Amino acid sequence: MMSGETQTSRLSFFGRIADDLTRKVLAATDVAVFLAEGREALIKADGHFAFADLEPSPTSYRIHIGARSYRDRIVLQGLPTSAPVQVMVPGEDELYLLINNVAAPQQRVTFEQITFVAPIEAGAAVIGEGGLIATLAEALEGQKITFPVLSTVAGLATGQVLRIVRSSNLLLRPGSYYPFPADATVIAVKVVANDSLQTALSDADIEITRINGNSPTLTDVGGLQLSLFDLGGNPPGSVILDDNDRNTATNDCGDAVFYFPGSKQITSIQVGVTKTGFQASTSSISVTAKRRNFQKVALAAL
């Protein structure tokens, strides 16, 4: 008789992918995850992906992630030893807040009302300016949210920025053809060459440089640089963006998109557009909240 054989695999990378707008985990059937050389990940029903039996490498692996209606992304991840590594990026699935007031007796801070907050469990990490590390004392979720209760508010002050970590999920950002909800403010940008055909330009980089006429205040919160835009208004509003929120690139059809909660009173944004071989351009876009706004930007060849 022949003895049975047992085949084992060594886990190398694992992670999970969620929608940047809704923060819901994407279904396994909707996502493709693969390495640069074409090797595909195993994706489980709960949205986790995994690669097995990869060799440790002094250089990072290039992990490609894609899904229909979303922007493709590439994550560089090192594998220094044979120990498994979770693929995650600081600042990904987080809630950014500007503190309006600190209520020390109640161990809470208040902020501009958020129309809806996807669930964040009690015990989630809270990262503040000046090295503050705390946790959520109570779960944070629901509609018209204005404050979290924290394990400590020591050292916090009005005007500071907080990061509340929801999960270690990687996020895919909606692309130009995503079915945005009716209450979202969407800014669609099309970049073309300044020629007779207005040829669509792919891989043009677009950066938000002003919102409502205001440049951002750059703030380091736990090693992550965030851009705070003052919206003005009464009561005053603000938008906090990380680098992935501020920057995007056009697809093969020259299309790109930015999006914001419709509750934010955004009336204009200014973008800088660059592409190798073309003159850089700055464009101001008038914005109507809770609508899809469109701007075409033409670049002149160098």
Distance separating alpha carbons of residues 202 and 181, to the nearest angstrom: 26
Task: Check whether the bond before 216 is cis (ω within 30° of 0).
Answer: no
Tens of pLDDT, residues 120-166:
999 999 999 988 899 999 999 999 999 999 999 999 999 999 999 99
Q: What percent of the chain has pLDDT over 70?
A: 97
80: which residues sit within 8 A by CB, 6+ positions away? Answer: 56, 58
Q: What is the pLDDT of residue 131?
A: 87
Tens of pLDDT, residues 8-55:
679 999 999 999 999 999 998 899 999 988 899 999 988 899 999 999
Q: Which domains are seen in the chain, by residue range? A: 11-86 (2.60.40.4130), 94-165 (2.40.10), 174-299 (2.60.40.10)
Q: What is the pLDDT of residue 4?
A: 53
pLDDT at 288 over 50: yes
Distances (CA, A) of 229 to 50, 226, 246, 271: 38, 10, 11, 14
pLDDT at 1 over 50: no
H or E element in which residue 245 lies = helix 243-246
pLDDT at 235 over 90: no
pLDDT at 73 over 70: yes
Contact status, residue 295 vs residue 286, Cβ threshold 8 Å = no
- DSSP tag of 243: H
Q: What is the pLDDT of residue 123?
A: 97
Distances (CA, A) of 72 to 24, 65, 66, 260, 266: 17, 6, 5, 20, 27
